[in-house]
A and B are shown apart, each in its own frame.
Chain A
Amino acid sequence: MKKVSISAKLKKVLIVGLSAVLMVGAFAGCGSNDKKTADKEPSETKNKVLEPVEITNVSYDPTRELYENYNKIFTEYWKNETGQDVTITQSHGGSGKQARSVLEGNEADVVTLALEQDVNELVTGGLIKDGWIKEFPKDSAPYTSTIVFLVRKDNPKGIKDWDDIVKDGVEIITPDPKTSGGARWNFLAAWGFALDKFSGDEAKAQDFLKSLYGNVTVLDSGARGSTTTFVENGQGDVLLAWENEAFLSIKEHPEDFEIVTPSISILAQPSVAIVDEVADERGTQEVAKGYLDYLYSDDAQRLEADNYYRPSNEDILKEYGDTFDLDLRLVNIEDDFGGWAKATDKFFADGAIFDQIYKQ
């Protein structure tokens, strides 16, 4: 009898302990959503004191560090400009998943997502007004990125361009374009190269992509997953990665990896937009617009470059010529693929080219 009661007690202790651990985990998780509040002192220089305001920025995974820093300089700037205190709540996750959460009621004032198409889904859902892409300069893409190769130190397989990674015996790590919006850039960059190489012959380009994906040993569900597989678990010879993610990996493990820039890649333009429906209802249009406008200011552009995103301001981009390979030829979605809607139908819809290259 006694034995039973002790074991029951112990079980209770264990359960309480485990729940405590989980609670701490949950709180730590919430920590990434933490609010950055500026000084609560009302500004004396302005005659009109505005009510403090809160806005939510729903973004995707790799921008975590960028927006953590940007929110600091924006709250300061906005305070100086208007005297208003602004608190920004950040949320990060896979781009498509984040778009769905907004669609399903996550009250975001602004979205800063990886794909124009994810923002378009919010237009379809009636949350954002059509024509958002012209609301901010450069197709509402304040910073851009591209796809590069991350290889192991000293490049043992001698990888220099897309040609080299389709060779036998080269193992490629890249995420699945069906589950990861970001991974679609990787596919299209390779397509851009293949089309150029075979001077526009799509059948040959498809064969090229087939041998490329034939070399893929792990097709993770998301970009961060692929980085973990390549960097932490030591799988594969080459990771097809966002330039900013590749730089972060190098920064963390300078001894282990190198970046190889191929001859052709793609101009990846992450999109920003005001979620009109939410901003109108909450009366945050003005601050939301200010928030996205300020992404184009010189200070913010430099901050983006410091976080390894290519600033859209050409002059500032040139300042960072040491960091970024500016000679890289970039294809882009609008001119080379006829926009996202077309590209999705042609490559990633069910039964489209991506499914065909895996057909047995």
Chain B
Amino acid sequence: MASLINRVKSKNNNIIPGFGLSMGITISMLSLIVLIPLASVLITMGGMTFHEFWANVTDKMLVSAYKVSLTCAFTAAVINGVFGVILAWILTRYDFPGRRVLDGFIELPFALPTAVAGIALTTLYSDTGWIGSIFAKVGLQISYTTIGITIAMVFIGIPFVVRSIQPVLEKLDRQCEDAAMILGASRTRIFFKVIFPEIFPAALSGFGLAFARSIGEYGSVVFIAGNIPYKTQIVPLLIMGKLEQFNYAAATSIALVMIVFAFVVLFAINIIQSQISKRAQG
């Protein structure tokens, strides 16, 4: 308890004044661009009874779309978690020609209009495309399958993981690794016992962000998904379908379910992280 009071005090004891003003700005910004639009989601649904809402969001076609969206987003986030660590490692620990250019490329998925990325990926990975034709020879179709959806999601998610891990890796004290080496630890042991615990929370938050972004992604995924009901249909596409029928209430009710999914994942990750940092401090 005493430590908690201390912490609050030290936070208040800031050298730069202006807490009131900046808090005010924070709250108005949050309200204007996050809270009010979210509230309007609820208002648009107004007039829907709970029964209608439930029937709407548990529709069979929709349930299979949740499965497609969630499994693809999860797989993509896992792939991003692993390769994101490797990429961040390469970019921070080694100096090689073209490193900074490569570092800049990581952000491309943020900058590129998603529809452009989607069309480009679809063409590349279709069975007549450069990459897709190689896989087609062994009978593996990528575009218009869940594999294609996952690839598009890996593409849009990778910067989240890399950019979360990089600063942690940069700050990591090399002396700990040196000490472990002198004490006779193997390289694998050093990675898993010294480095990994340090970057794990960052990797986890990158994973969460990539996952949340992927389940809501429309532009880049919709072209590479075959959109076949019960097979390769993603949830955002069904939302578009409802909008096309001018059924705003149904569209927003699905959107609400997606927001809940994303929120639960991000919240769970936050809890895990705070547990880890408590353990690290304690």
Contacts and interface: CB of A to CB of B under 8 A. Distances in A.
Indicate whether A and B interact.
yes
A335 B180 CA distance: 83
A42 B98 CA distance: 61
B128 to A, nearest CB: 4
Interface in B105-130: 107-108, 111, 113, 119, 122-123, 126-129
Nearest to A178: B241
A218 B144 contact: yes
B109 to A, nearest CB: 11
B103 interface: yes
Given A7-B103, A100-B246, A235-B144, A219 B123 contact: no
A14 B100 CA distance: 10
Nearest to B129: A233
A50 B144 CA distance: 56
A252 to B, nearest CB: 16
Interface stretch (A59-67, A153-161, A348-356): A348-356
A221 B240 contact: yes
Interface in A137-186: 176, 178-181
A328 interface: no
B243 interface: yes
A326 interface: no
Contact of A221 (B122, B129, B144, B237): B237
A235 B244 contact: no
Interface string B223-255: 100111110000001101101111100100000
Contacts, number: 92
Contact of B113 (A25, A181, A344, A355): A25
A357 to B, nearest CB: 10
Contact of B107 (A14, A179, A344): A14
A360 interface: yes
Nearest to A184: B244
A82 interface: no
B70 interface: no
A216 interface: yes
A243 interface: no
Interface in A1-40: 6-7, 10-11, 14-15, 18-19, 21-22, 25
B85 interface: no
A181 B244 contact: yes
Contacts of B108: 18
A110 to B, nearest CB: 21
Contact of B241 (A25, A176, A225, A344): A176
A51 B75 CA distance: 61
A323 B228 CA distance: 34
Contact of A232 (B59, B104, B123, B127): B123
- In this complex, the interface size class of chain A, counting residues with CB under 8 Å from chain B, is 35 or more
A359 B238 CA distance: 15
A83 interface: no
Contact of B240 (A6, A21, A179): A179
B123 A233 contact: yes
A349 B108 CA distance: 40
B220 interface: no
Contact of A233 (B111, B143, B228, B244): B143
B61 interface: yes
Contacts of A225: 222-223
B103 A218 contact: no
A270 interface: no
Contacts of A10: 100, 103-104
A344 B122 CA distance: 32
A233 B246 contact: no
Contacts of B129: 233
B228 A219 contact: yes
B229 A218 contact: no
Contacts of A14: 104, 107
A219 B128 contact: no
Contacts of B123: 232-233
A220 interface: yes
Nearest to B170: A4
A349 B246 CA distance: 11
A297 interface: no
Nearest to B239: A179
Nearest to A17: B104
B117 to A, nearest CB: 13
Nearest to B240: A179
A228 B61 CA distance: 26
A233 B237 contact: no
Given A233-B123, A233-B126, A233-B143, A350 B228 contact: no
Contact of B245 (A25, A178, A358): A178
A80 interface: no
Nearest to B236: A221
A11 B241 contact: no
Given A179-B237, A219-B228, A349-B245, A234 B128 contact: yes
Interface of A: 6-7, 10-11, 14-15, 18-19, 21-22, 25, 96-97, 100, 121, 176, 178-181, 216-221, 225, 228-229, 232-235, 344, 348-350, 355, 358-360
Given A358-B61, A358-B230, 8 more contacts: A11-B104, A14-B104, A19-B111, A121-B246, A179-B227, A179-B237, A233-B129, A234-B127
10 contacts: A100-B243, A100-B246, A219-B228, A228-B119, A229-B122, A233-B122, A233-B143, A344-B245, A350-B59, A355-B61
Q: Closest 5 CB pairs between A and B? A: A178-B241, A14-B104, A234-B128, A233-B126, A219-B227
